[in-house]
Amino acid sequence: MNEIPVYTFAKWQVKEGQLDSVLKLLTEVAEQSSKEEGNLFYKIHQSKSDANTLILFEGYTNETALEGHRNSEHFKTLVIGKIIPKLENREVIITSQLIPD
């Protein structure tokens, strides 16, 4: 596997009436994810024009760390089990940086 950092951008469209519940669960996901070995950061953003649109920006040291995150118990329980059913739509894009800072 490639040993360069990978970054995830996830756009979540939360179902009407589910935002408070999703944000509460997402706070726990962010806390747990930030403790994972290989996690560089886990940032949650909200659209200024549509409060039900959330953008997650996550960084991992490499693809192995990202896979570890996706296989973690908290990801399976909270994201897959509890949050995704509260979403209208979910788009995830995995990236690597082309031009360093």
**10 and 90 Cβ atoms separated by less than 8 Å:** yes
Q: For residue range 16-31, list pLDDT tens digits in order.
A: 999 999 999 999 999 9
For residue 100, being part of any structural domain is answered with no
Assigned domain for 1 exists: no
How many domains are contained in the chain?
Answer: 1
Angle at 2 between CA 83 and CA 55, to 5 degrees: 30
**Residue-range definition of the domain harbouring residue 11:** 6-47+57-95
**pLDDT > 70 in the chain, percent:** 97
pTM passes above 0.85: yes
Q: What confidence category does residue 101 fall into, taking pLDDT thresholds of 50, 70 and 90? A: low
Kindly report the CATH number assigned to the domain that includes residue 78: 3.30.70.100
Inside any domain, residue 90: yes
